[in-house]
Structure 1
Amino acid sequence: MKHLRTTAIAAILALPSFAAAQETISLTVASSHPTTIPWVGMIQTHFMAETDRILAEEGNYEISWDEAFGGTLYRANATLTSVEEGITDIGWVFSYLEGAKMPLSQVTAYTPFATSNVPVQLSVMRELFNENEAFRNEWEQYNIVMLGMTASDSYDLYTKTPVASLADLNGMRISAPGVLGTWLRGTGASAVDGALTTFYTDIQTGVSDGVLSLALGALPTRIYEVAPYVTRVQMGTVFSGGVAINRDVWETLPEEVQQAMLEAGAYYSEAHAQDMMDRPEVAMEQIATLGAEQSTPVTIVEMDPSERQAWVDALPNLAGEWAAENDGRGLPAAEFLAAYMDGLRAGGEAPARDWSAE
């Protein structure tokens, strides 16, 4: 009996040391956008969940996530500085809004009609990040470590009146986000700077006659109600940024946790890229269904290939202008542009215009 009692006590005493072997690490993860935005929601469902799954296999570490999504800590104009300065440990960096600080990251915004294949685009951007020192430094100089990349779905045209040809755009006022207004140069349309939050009202009040937008943005903001003519132009996708972690925090993490996050970041990027191929078509179907009974029913058409090519050919040398400006600042922009276009072609894409050859 004494032997059994001693054995039982020893077993009980062993339990606390086993529990203490697992270390809990507290991290804040945040974003300027709500989790209803696909790539933000996937930070929870893919990046965080996959990190947890990988760490659970060994059982040495677990993460206690303090979530601050939807602009709780900062807005879209502070996504980079908030990770850089440690306002959040991990966050989605919206590099598309950081043209001055991250000029090479804008290459996709100056190469429209190059690709609408998000998996290929992000694969090329990741390869460039790994191999191009200037591009990598563009991120790492701000005290951050890149974990996973993001991109948009492809841009189309939503207007109050039908657009059957490129000539129909002449004289129109088209709202577009930031630099993407340059995609209208040469068409005869005037760009009106705007965002998803302003597009509906801009069209409704006559500020603009339509927008360049995304299916995933047009659906929740109901742009189709005021711009029921949808022309599928497939102008291309845009690299928008990625999930990053503050480097000071990163360097305090055990190697096992770092490796888990890098693997989870790669998984997140791949899943997000495929989601950007699948989800927009579902959104477009919903737009057609929801807009079928409104006073002016939604009409969705594909732009005639010859008219699309006419648009491509009408554009000035956007990429050349961008490269020349940034080369003048000491950046290898022309070289970077060529590597990006070569990467797309190596991935099986056939850009409608060879921006790097001009």
Structure 2
Amino acid sequence: MKTTASLALVIALAIGLSSTAQAERLRYGDYMPQGANEYSRTAEWMGNEINKRAAGKHTVTMLWGGTVAKVGEMPTAVENRVIDMGPLVTPYFPDQFPINNAIPFFWPQPKTQAQLGALMLKWHDKYPAFADELAKFKLKLVSVRPLPSYGLICNKPVRSMADFKGLRIRSYGIALPAMLEAIGAVPVSMADVDGYEALSNGILDCSPGDPPLTVGWKWTDVAKYYIDVPMGASWGHIFVMNLDRYNALPPDLKKIIDDMKQDYLAEFLSTYEKSIKDTLADWKANGKVEVIKIPEAEFTKATLENPKVQAVRDSWIKRATAAGMPEADARQVVEDITQ
């Protein structure tokens, strides 16, 4: 009887220890301040949602404002397990992630924000090269955040294509500088976190962004003209997790993370749609920002007929195949983007 009771106690302790060992504490790091914009607010939603679905067994701690990694340090921070998860702004790393930078080589382009999100998830499911490229740096895709259609927030009015000539406009990646040069502007390489100071002190005349983003970064405090140009949506951020960390997770938490692929994207898109409508309505009501529309045909002609812009678009297949993607897959990706 005593032996049976002792055995039961040992089994109970073993089960308890096993349960404790399976409890995971994940660290999510973000270069943005908490609640600053749709990106950080929906990232917080994801962290809260993981905690909710895990019902207290597993938790995600959210670390904000670049306290553990700045925007340019994110892939390295996740790779080296400084944090377990974080946002990767792919256009800032065109040479490190050429395959996952497919869409930023095609500005301007006609796809919507939702269409781009669906495409990127489809590509990750269909073409192994996308995941393989991330895996080289011990990264795994969790979900995606496609940029909505961008315009330009400027500290001076731009009322015609001629007014772009000589303007200093924030830039990054490869396609955006070529597009800006095509309209006569001067691209200035800079991360979005530095945009406010640069716009306020005249280092920049304009910065690309969607309406909510310009408000979130407080650019509209120092720049009062939003130039509506048909740049189209683009690829911006993907959530990544350390691959080794993911592989070591218990099955229940893996499923929660896997479900974020579609669930987070849906939350992000719905949040952004509402925010764009609210921001434009607010601008119209209070007159804080003047929206100036540039004729679509003029902008498209100046950009898509430019040899440098076309050269950038043509270069992605070469970059992708050099990085290990089969040429047939790369050509299908381009067709998906441009059709």
So what's the TM-score if we normalise by structure 2?
0.82
Q: Partners of 2:86 and 2:191 in 1: how far apart?
A: 22
1:322 correspondence with 2:318? no
Q: Partners of 1:143 and 1:328 in 2: how far apart?
A: 21
Measured on the aligned residues, the alpha-carbon RMSD in Å equals 3.0
Aligned to 1:213: 209
Taking only the aligned residue pairs, the percentage that are identical comes to: 17
Aligned to 1:309: 300
1:185 correspondence with 2:181? yes
Shift in Å, 1:321: 4.5
Partner deviation per Cα, 1:31-62 (whole Å, 9 max, x = no partner): 222232322332331x2333344444xxxx71
- When Rg is computed on C-alpha atoms for both structures, the one with the higher figure is 1
Aligned to 1:261: 257
Q: Partners of 1:54 and 1:339 in 2: how far apart?
A: 37
Q: Partners of 2:274 and 2:318 in 1: how far apart?
A: 36
Q: Partners of 1:41 and 1:246 in 2: how far apart?
A: 22
Structure 1 residues 311 and 287, CA gap change in structure 2 (3 angstroms): farther
Shift in Å, 1:195: 3.5
Q: Could you tell me whether the CA contact under 8 Å between 1:80 and 1:95 is conserved in 2?
A: no
Structure 1 residues 319 and 313, CA gap change in structure 2 (3 angstroms): same
Q: Which amino acid aligns with 1:246?
A: N
Q: Which amino acid aligns with 1:27?
A: L
Aligned to 1:5: none
Q: Could you tell me whether the CA contact under 8 Å between 2:179 and 2:303 is conserved in 1?
A: no
Structure 1 residues 119 and 327, CA gap change in structure 2 (3 angstroms): closer
Aligned to 2:32: 33
Q: Could you tell me whether the CA contact under 8 Å between 2:106 and 2:313 is conserved in 1?
A: no
Q: Which amino acid aligns with 2:110?
A: T
Q: Partners of 1:144 and 1:203 in 2: how far apart?
A: 34
Q: Could you tell me whether the CA contact under 8 Å between 2:108 and 2:304 is conserved in 1?
A: no
Q: Could you tell me whether the CA contact under 8 Å between 2:91 and 2:173 is conserved in 1?
A: no
Q: Which amino acid aligns with 1:141?
A: K
Aligned to 1:10: none
1:89 correspondence with 2:103? no
When the two structures are aligned, how many residues end up with a matched partner?
Answer: 321
Q: Which runs of 5+ in 2 are unaligned?
A: 1-8
- Where does 1:1-358 land on structure 2 (aligned, <5 Å)? 20=16, 23=20, 24-36=23-35, 37-45=37-45, 47-56=46-55, 62-115=57-110, 117-179=112-174, 180-289=176-285, 291-292=287-288, 298-316=289-307, 317-323=310-316, 326=319, 329-332=322-325, 335=328, 338-344=331-337
Shift in Å, 1:304: 1.8
Shift in Å, 1:63: 0.7
